[in-house]
């Protein structure tokens, strides 16, 4: 391909004024009759251009000392490409082709669906913690017998979804539980995933108060992707019932990786969006949002949240680290070198949300998404490690060997496919009917009691009056949270907490307030051991501020002893703090 054929030269030279460029070849591809050659495609044109460049490069390497006038020298002017247009277009086309091939390989490389099977198994177990506690309240949450809270009402669509009776709601919840069981064991996996996706989405949209949460949105997306994927090709009842090839067939089966990639992109974009939200939330950047969250048990009880709230600087640093990790997750997780560290940071992050914020289901949902990052090679290594560990227990090794031999048996179970489908429908109908009958028998709301339905009991008259009274003004004492003392600030946070001070140090008293509050004038009075006023400080606290700092130098004018910091707002005392002044080191030694 170092020289062009005369037929191609005859047409393309007339258009380009020289040897044919990639653009002139493309034009010839549109009109093949002018050159007398068949139409060529984009890939063929790219190969022609690249082969031309390779030929010139090879010639230049063979004769490095030859001048421009010698035939071995790659001369753009002799080649009819004085501006390097052919080289540039070929490089751009080759680069775009490489990028397209990488994207194609990223989504469509065939691999065993081990990760999808793990997500299929784990996701219903996580959903069980959401669906099972709400099953007995299905009549109240999702039917016309109770009080539904549809999400569409907030957008002006009052009849967006149909609402059914209590028995139908109980049937839907029971059918959802059956679909979760079938999805976990891989019995009609794609149909089970689609069934769970439709029912769970419907129930979530009917109850925007409690059922629809952040993790329920992630779960519905995962269920949709599982319904479109071959998640039941391995480790499932569907795999056992699949017809066996006479020669054994491919083991394991291989499919395109795009469902797993979409799950990975889903969790990556969720983290990236969460980071953008945190950046635009000043309360999170200051650490106050996490600080007050850790002090509550609004989710589940947590063991170290209250203790960690004593160190606001650590909370603020952790918040910034989380933002950096969430923003870089989607960029670093694809690298095999960084992936274990990025995922390990994610595991640690969600574990800390359990220990400090009391979150339970959301971390489990994210851990389920992490299973999609396991490559087939990782699964193979884990199976090898498991075999080594199980070899230490002979009984377990014998059971595992028997299970492996039975599952790898050449016996063809495909004849059971039709009975299995019929059994799926029959068992689903039977379980659903049983669930409706059980809900009817439990009679949670006492509709069939001999004495009649449960009646609402009147509340105390004093409590009713207090509830119906107009809103009262927030007390001044309720606007203050705590007072801490120290000697050093990091930004606007107290870096160290101390109650004992020496002469020559600077006392910093930090007053933390509870939002919301109006613009306030807060006064700090220093009283000696005899309760006499020593000094007073004042500070303006704006409505958007969470804390106010009062700085006071500890001089020798303050005799050693116990002093009291009294904080007042609107002329009323709200909080006190005791400190100890011991004097400098010389005075202490002489006193001894």
In a domain, 399, yes or no: no
Produce one character per residue of 132-146: b if its CB has 16 or more CB atoms within 10 Å, e if not.
Answer: eebbebbbbbbbebb
Contact of 509 with 577, CB cutoff 8 Å:
yes
Which residue numbers in the chain have pLDDT < 50? 1-50, 52-79, 83, 585, 587-592
In a domain, 46, yes or no: yes
In a domain, 251, yes or no: no
Regarding whether 427 and 494 lie in a shared domain, the answer is no
Q: Tokens 């490389």 identify what position?
A: 109
Apex CA 118: angle with CA 112 and CA 121, to 5°?
130
Q: Tokens 């501020």 identify what position?
A: 545
Return d(Cα 306, Cα 293) in angstroms, integer: 9
In a domain, 586, yes or no: yes
**Strand 547-553 versus strand 533-541 pairing type:** unpaired
Structural tokens at position 52? 């031309």
Q: What is the dihedral of CA 482, 485, 487, 491, to 10 degrees?
A: 0
As for how many domains the chain has, the answer is 3
In a domain, 466, yes or no: no
In a domain, 137, yes or no: yes
Regarding whether 65 and 29 lie in a shared domain, the answer is yes
Return d(Cα 399, Cα 148) in angstroms, integer: 49
How much is the pLDDT for 389?
A: 78
Regarding whether 102 and 55 lie in a shared domain, the answer is yes
In a domain, 403, yes or no: no
Cα dihedral sign for 104, 239, 174, 423? Answer: positive
Q: What is the pLDDT of residues 41-73, one digit of tens each?
A: 444 444 444 454 444 444 444 444 444 444 443
SS3 at position 564 = strand
Strand partners, 526: 535, 565
Structural tokens at position 30? 């549109």
How much is the pLDDT for 384?
A: 85
Question: DSSP secondary structure string, 361-430?
Answer: HHHHHHHHHHGGG--HHHHHHHHHHHHHHHTT-HHHHHHHHHHHHHHT-----GGGHHHHHHHHHHHHHH
How much is the pLDDT for 60?
A: 44
- Among residues 191, 167, 128, the alpha carbon closest in space to that of 425 is found at 191
Regarding whether 65 and 144 lie in a shared domain, the answer is no
- Beta strands, E only, 487-546: 489-490, 493-494, 500-501, 506-513, 520-527, 533-541
How much is the pLDDT for 406?
A: 59
SS3 at position 566 = strand
How much is the pLDDT for 405?
A: 63
Regarding whether 133 and 25 lie in a shared domain, the answer is no
How much is the pLDDT for 557?
A: 86
How much is the pLDDT for 590?
A: 35
Regarding whether 98 and 117 lie in a shared domain, the answer is no
In a domain, 310, yes or no: no
HSE-CB for 316 with a 13 A CA cutoff: 16
Q: What is the pLDDT of residues 106-126, one digit of tens each?
A: 999 999 999 999 999 999 999
Regarding whether 144 and 77 lie in a shared domain, the answer is no
Strand partners, 564: 527, 578
Regarding whether 502 and 440 lie in a shared domain, the answer is no
Question: Is this prediction's pTM over 0.85?
Answer: no
Regarding whether 157 and 82 lie in a shared domain, the answer is no
Return d(Cα 493, Cα 507) in angstroms, integer: 14
φ and ψ of 111, to 5 deg: -155, 160
Return d(Cα 402, Cα 406) in angstroms, integer: 6
Strand partners, 490: 493
Q: What is the domain extent for residue 23?
A: 6-108
Q: Which of 89, 108, 127 is the last residue of a domain?
A: 108
Regarding whether 508 and 439 lie in a shared domain, the answer is no
Contact of 569 with 480, CB cutoff 8 Å:
yes
- Among residues 200, 244, 202, the alpha carbon closest in space to that of 223 is found at 200
Regarding whether 556 and 570 lie in a shared domain, the answer is yes
Return d(Cα 145, Cα 168) in angstroms, integer: 11
Return d(Cα 306, Cα 295) in angstroms, integer: 5
Regarding whether 189 and 90 lie in a shared domain, the answer is no
CATH code of 545's domain: 2.60.40.1930
């Amino acid at each position: 391909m170092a020289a062009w054929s005369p037929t191609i030269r005859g047409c393309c030279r007339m258009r380009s004024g020289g040897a044919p460029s990639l653009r002139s070849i493309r034009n010839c591809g549109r009109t093949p009759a002018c050159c007398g050659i068949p139409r060529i495609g984009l890939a063929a044109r790219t190969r022609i251009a690249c082969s031309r460049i390779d030929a010139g490069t090879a010639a230049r390497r063979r004769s490095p000392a030859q001048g421009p006038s010698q035939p071995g020298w790659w001369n753009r002017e002799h080649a009819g490409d004085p501006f390097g247009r052919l080289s540039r277009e070929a490089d751009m086309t080759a680069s775009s082709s490489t990028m397209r091939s990488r994207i194609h390989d990223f989504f469509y490389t065939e691999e065993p669906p081990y990760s999808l099977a793990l997500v299929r198994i784990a996701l219903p177990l996580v959903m069980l913690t959401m669906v099972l506690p709400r099953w007995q309240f299905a009549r109240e949450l999702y039917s016309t017998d109770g009080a539904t809270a549809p999400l569409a009402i907030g957008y002006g669509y009052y009849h967006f979804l149909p609402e059914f009776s209590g028995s139908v709601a109980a049937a839907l919840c029971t059918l959802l539980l059956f679909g979760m069981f079938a999805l976990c064991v891989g019995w009609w996996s794609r149909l089970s995933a689609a069934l769970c996706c439709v029912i769970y989405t419907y129930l979530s949209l009917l109850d925007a108060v409690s059922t629809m949460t952040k993790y329920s949105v992630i779960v519905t997306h995962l269920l949709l992707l599982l319904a479109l994927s071959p998640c039941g090709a391995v480790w499932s009842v569907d795999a056992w019932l699949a017809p066996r090839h006479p020669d054994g067939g491919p083991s394991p089966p291989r499919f395109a990786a795009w469902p797993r990639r979409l799950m990975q992109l889903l969790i990556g974009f969720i983290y990236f969006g969460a980071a953008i939200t945190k950046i635009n939330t000043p309360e999170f950047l200051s650490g106050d949002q996490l600080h007050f969250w850790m002090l509550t048990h609004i989710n589940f009880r947590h063991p170290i949240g209250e203790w960690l709230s004593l160190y606001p600087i650590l909370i603020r640093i952790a918040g910034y680290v989380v933002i950096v990790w969430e923003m870089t997750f989607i960029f670093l997780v694809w690298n095999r070198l960084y992936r274990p560290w990025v995922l390990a940071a994610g595991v640690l992050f969600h574990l800390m949300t359990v220990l400090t914020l009391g979150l339970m289901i959301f971390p489990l949902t994210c851990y389920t998404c992490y299973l999609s990052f396991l490559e087939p090679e990782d699964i193979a290594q884990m199976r090898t490690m498991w075999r080594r560990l199980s070899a230490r227990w002979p009984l377990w090794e014998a059971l595992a060997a028997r299970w492996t031999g039975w599952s790898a048996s050449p016996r063809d179970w495909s004849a059971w496919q039709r009975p299995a489908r019929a059994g799926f429908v029959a068992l689903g109908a039977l379980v659903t009917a049983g669930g409706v009958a059980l809900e009817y028998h439990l009679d949670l709301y006492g509709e069939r009691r001999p004495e009649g339905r449960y009646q609402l009991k009147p509340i105390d008259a004093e409590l009713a009056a207090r509830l119906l009274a107009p809103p009262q003004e927030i007390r001044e004492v309720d606007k203050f949270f705590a007072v801490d003392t120290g000697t050093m600030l990091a930004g606007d946070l107290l870096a160290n907490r101390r109650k004992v001070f020496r002469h020559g140090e600077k006392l910093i008293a930090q007053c933390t307030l509870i939002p919301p509050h109006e613009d306030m004038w807060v006064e700090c009075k220093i009283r000696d051991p005899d309760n006499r006023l020593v000094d007073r400080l004042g500070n303006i606290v704006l409505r958007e501020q969470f804390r106010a700092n009062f700085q006071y130098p500890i001089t020798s004018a303050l005799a050693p002893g116990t002093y009291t910091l009294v904080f007042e707002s609107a002329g009323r005392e709200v909080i006190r703090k005791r400190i100890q002044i011991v004097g400098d080191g010389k005075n202490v030694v002489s006193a001894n």
